Amino acid sequence: MALRRPLALIAGLFRELPFGDAIPIDAGGTGVTTAAAARDALAVREKLSAARTYYVRTDGSDSNDGLSNTAGGAFLTIQKAVDVAASLDLGIYDITIRCRGVFSSTTVLKSIIGSGRVVIRGDADDTLTMSVAVSGTSVNAFEFGPGFQGTYRLQYMAISSAGGSGVTTGGSGPANVEIANVAFGACNFYHVWAASNQVIDFVGPCSISGGSFAFARSSDSAVVRMNQAFTLTGTPAFGSGFVVSERAAGIVATLASFIGSATGNRYQVTLNAYIFVNGAGASFLPGSSAGVASTGGQYA
């Protein structure tokens, strides 16, 4: 008898349509939705019990399952692989997305569940033979989705954008994007930009062969950590400064090293933001002009 009453209450939330579909009505009587939407909302995420790898190739298909490195198994777009990863519960395990080819559309990095990371990378462990290039023409290469939470790593790839930025904010949230072994070409706006409490953390060496407004921009309480080796080729030009920090944000480059040269201001820091180089000096960052600190900005 004790079980019948709860079951009767649950059954009372549904009324049958002539077409045989049920519309669940919320217990407070404040909304009506379709049965399919209710089933989707109640769907249980698959929880990983081991690390998993998905493959992306330009001869693949987004109708594939992405689990094998063949034309008949791999996804066609990086976005599809990210969408699938975001639909899972990673638990403590990482998902690796191995890519091969040249991709020209924006990949939106979505919130992930669990403490594992999503690693998007080229198919080869070699910075000299990049097997994947993300080269947007009028779009950003990688963009943080709104309310983004979780950790992604971008590794062993070439990133550029003729009409947008390389790795850039798309909204607020505690996003964390790690970058290693990436070859940055020219970008129209910024190579990397973190905002609104987001973090971009360089965790491996990178190269820079093209300019932008700024290689790294940090704004609105975000942080960009650049404690790695950077090699600049071709004297890239930066219109605002090699690094820009504003509105209580920070850029940390205490352990960074730079080979090569650039043109433009070394830095701009303003509105109570900071750039910390641990006393390395005003000429530490690449550039052909002195840096600029104003309205409470600190370079130290």
Q: What is the pLDDT of residue 131?
A: 75
Give the Cα separation of 213 and 166 in Å (integer).
12
**Which one-letter amino acid corresponds to residue 29?**
G
Q: What is the pLDDT of residue 215?
A: 98
Task: Name the pLDDT band for 130 (thresholds 50, 70, 90).
Answer: low
Write the DSSP assignment of 184-239 as a string of letters: EEEESSEEEEEETT-EEEE-S-EEE-S-BSEEEEEETT-EEE--SEEEE-S--BBS
The torsion of the CA quartet 57, 232, 165, 223, rounded to 10 degrees, works out to: 110
pLDDT tens-digit map of 265-281: 999 999 999 999 999 99
pLDDT tens-digit map of 24-38: 434 444 444 454 444
In a domain, 79, yes or no: no
In a domain, 126, yes or no: yes
Q: What is the pLDDT of residue 188?
A: 94
79 SS3 class: helix
In a domain, 107, yes or no: yes
| 162: pLDDT strictly greater than 50 | yes
Give the tokens for residue 215: 């290689």
Which residue range(s) make up the domain with 179? 89-299
Q: What angle do CA 130, 133, 134 make, to 5 degrees?
A: 155
Average model confidence (pLDDT) across the chain: 87
User: Per the structure, how many domains does the chain have?
Assistant: 1
pLDDT tens-digit map of 34-72: 544 444 444 688 999 999 999 999 999 999 999 999 999
In a domain, 159, yes or no: yes
In a domain, 29, yes or no: no
In a domain, 45, yes or no: no
pLDDT tens-digit map of 238-296: 999 999 999 999 999 999 999 999 999 999 999 999 999 999 999 999 999 999 999 99
Q: Which residues, other chains included, contact 269 with Cβ-Cβ below 8 Å and sequence gap of 6+?
A: 244, 245, 246, 251, 275, 291, 292, 293, 294, 297, 298, 299
| 222: pLDDT strictly greater than 50 | yes
Give the Cα separation of 205 and 213 in Å (integer).
21
Give the Cα separation of 141 and 191 in Å (integer).
10
183 SS3 class: strand
* Burial degree of 238 (CB within 10 A; 0-12, 13-18, 19+): buried
pTM of the complete model: 0.84
Query: Which has the closest alpha carbon to 72: 61, 83, 82, 58?
Result: 61
Task: Name the pLDDT band for 9 (thresholds 50, 70, 90).
Answer: very low
Partners of 153 in the β-ladder: 119, 178
In a domain, 234, yes or no: yes
**What is the percentage of the chain residues whose pLDDT exceeds 70?**
83
In a domain, 243, yes or no: yes
Q: What is the pLDDT of residue 274?
A: 98
